[in-house]
Amino acid sequence: MTTQDVTGHDLPPGTTHATVGDREPGALALGLPSGLPGSGASGFDSHHPPEAALRGDCVHCGFCLPTCPTYVLWGEEMDSPRGRIHLMNVVAEGAPLDDATARHWDQCLGCMACVTACPSGVQYDKLIEATRAQVERHHERTWRERLQRAAIFSLFPYPRRLRAARGPLRAYQALRLASIVRSPVVQRVLPRQLATMEALAPRLGPVPEIADVTPAVGTKRRTVGFLRGCVQGAFFPDVNAATVQVLAAEGCEVHAPRTAGCCGALSGHAGREDDAIRFAKRTIDQLDALDSVVVNAAGCGSQMKDYGYLLRDEPSPWPQRATAFSERVRDVTELLVELGTVAPRHPLPVTIAYHDACHLAHAQGIRAQPRALLAEVPGVTVREIPEGDLCCGSAGVYNLLQPEPAAQLGERKARNVLATGAELLVTANPGCWMQVTTALAGLGHRMPVAHPMQLLAASIGGKSREQLLTAALDGPGTLAPG
Ligand code: SF4
Ligand code: SF4
């Protein structure tokens, strides 16, 4: 007779609930001895290893397993939060940080669904970030992986380089070269990662101008700093323009320095700690003097709210500055609900599927605010997406680094979006936008997509339903506000 874990999956023969509940469930599932293998000296270095106290918070209950996308895909203990924490334990106690171990951590999306699900309050976010930094320092990657990571991290966090890439990308799209690149012959020889990058590239339109300072409409209620961001600023400039328009309409004077680019989220979530710290300091310098700091991309908000922790070892006054800064960071939907909205909304009769970005819902706990703002627009109907808590596979640059599982999750999300029968997909993260749009295209569907701020800007600006849906169908860069 087999024993099952709490998710109903069979555990290996000989496993009992007592042994699973005791300790080392991952060892049992892998057939490892439950004692800890290795030399006794930690396989991690002493610079911020995943903390023993945080690892010890995991009581192996398994409640997180059914919410973990990789466990849902493969049913493998080592690709669950519990299994990954077990691997941190065995490496901390002397097992080598080998290829297989690094692969299980690499395959984690960092979606933080396990943080939401965990009844014991395990801070998996801190654990995996510390572990990734150790992997970056100690794990020897293949030359192909090193090349790919070098290309990604020397391009995406740099707005000027991304803007330079817009020209060739627009020409590529205008010349319709994609039909050649996506032909079966070319796809057979194109590396999977390059093919993924090509498919994910958003369609680009004109770039609306955003002033350094936009005055509040009517009585000023707040002075806010706005992060233009890297990918958001270069590839989704219309989302930024719509965000500034809505903030101004709601009585905010918006300061949007052109030099406030990458917040460091991409680097931080990939374990590139030095880069993350450098970007964090620059962002603080740029936006520190303002009442609130507003962000419209889920991953960036989550990173900026953690600056205090990230900069905890930097020389004074950085830790204090970073903590005070983080306390002033707000997702734009969070700020608008805090302020209370005053700008009149015009009706937009449209049915929406609202997609929770993981770094908004799981990492920041922001679920109610975007739904409340969307529901304020007369005529809008919001439909929930089945399996809404499951990551779409975007996860920063995960879909470039791990294209196969990302594509499977993307397709699953796209099918769930289609099942809602909604006319418009609304999401607050550029990565999710690109991922789900690509997956929908793979299923032969083109669906209009918008950021919540674009929908609000369209309503405040008195746009018609047709104008909204047409612009949202044409992709980023087309839904100019006003
Ligand atoms: S962050 Fe997401 S993918 Fe990683 S272990 Fe947690 S639930 Fe699984
Ligand atoms: S991370 Fe939390 S939910 Fe998952 S096994 Fe550990 S204690 Fe249970």
Q: Is the beta carbon of 61 within 6 A of some atom in ligand 2?
A: yes
Start-end ranges of CATH 1.10.1060 in the chain? 20-138
Start-end ranges of CATH 3.40.50.11810 in the chain? 345-474
Strand (E) or helix (H) holding 253: strand 252-255
Most distant CA atoms of the chain, gap in Å: 71
Count of positions (residues) in the chain: 482
Strand-pair partners of 295: 331
Q: Is the beta carbon of 69 within 6 A of some atom in ligand 1?
A: yes
Q: Is the beta carbon of 84 within 6 A of some atom in ligand 2?
A: no
Q: Three-state DSSP class for 83?
A: helix
Q: What is the pLDDT of residues 29-49, one digit of tens each?
A: 443 434 444 556 788 999 999
Q: Give the ligand whose atoms come closest to the C-alpha of residue 81.
A: 1
Q: What is the pLDDT of residues 302-334, one digit of tens each?
A: 999 999 999 999 999 999 999 999 999 999 999
Distance 389 CA to ligand 2 centre (A): 17
Q: Is the pLDDT of residue 173 over 80?
A: no
Highest mean pLDDT among 225-239, 305-319, 393-407: 305-319
CATH code of the domain occupying 345-474:
3.40.50.11810
If you take atom 2 of ligand 2, which residue's CA is the nearest one? 118
Q: What is 20-138's CATH topology?
A: Fumarate Reductase Iron-sulfur Protein; Chain B, domain 2 (1.10.1060)
Strand-pair partners of 381: 351
Burial code (b: 16+ CB inside 10 Å, e: under 16) for 370-400 equals: bbebbeebeebebeebeebbbbbbbbbbbbb
Tell which atom from ligand 1 comes closest to the C-alpha of 71: 8
Distance 362 CA to ligand 1 centre (A): 11
Average pLDDT over residues 168-174: 67
Q: Is the beta carbon of 105 within 6 A of some atom in ligand 1?
A: no
Distance 46 CA to ligand 2 centre (A): 25
Average pLDDT over residues 91-96: 94
Query: Rounded to two decimals, what is the model's pTM?
Result: 0.85
Among 49-58, 88-97, 177-186, 371-380, whose mean pLDDT is lowest? 177-186
Q: What are phi and psi of 293, to 5 degrees?
A: -115, 120
Q: Which of 72, 78, 109, 402 to mutate to test the pocket of ligand 1 (most atoms within 8 A of CB)?
A: 109
If you take atom 4 of ligand 1, which residue's CA is the nearest one? 108
Among candidate residues 292, 384, 392, 389, the one with its CA nearest the CA of residue 334: 292
Q: Is the pLDDT of residue 338 over 90?
A: yes
Q: What is 213-337's CATH topology?
A: Rossmann fold (3.40.50)
**CB atoms < 10 A from the CB of 142, how many?**
9
Q: Give the ligand whose atoms come closest to the C-alpha of residue 125.
A: 1
Q: Give yes or no for a contact between 357 and 385, defined as CB atoms under 8 angstroms apart.
A: no
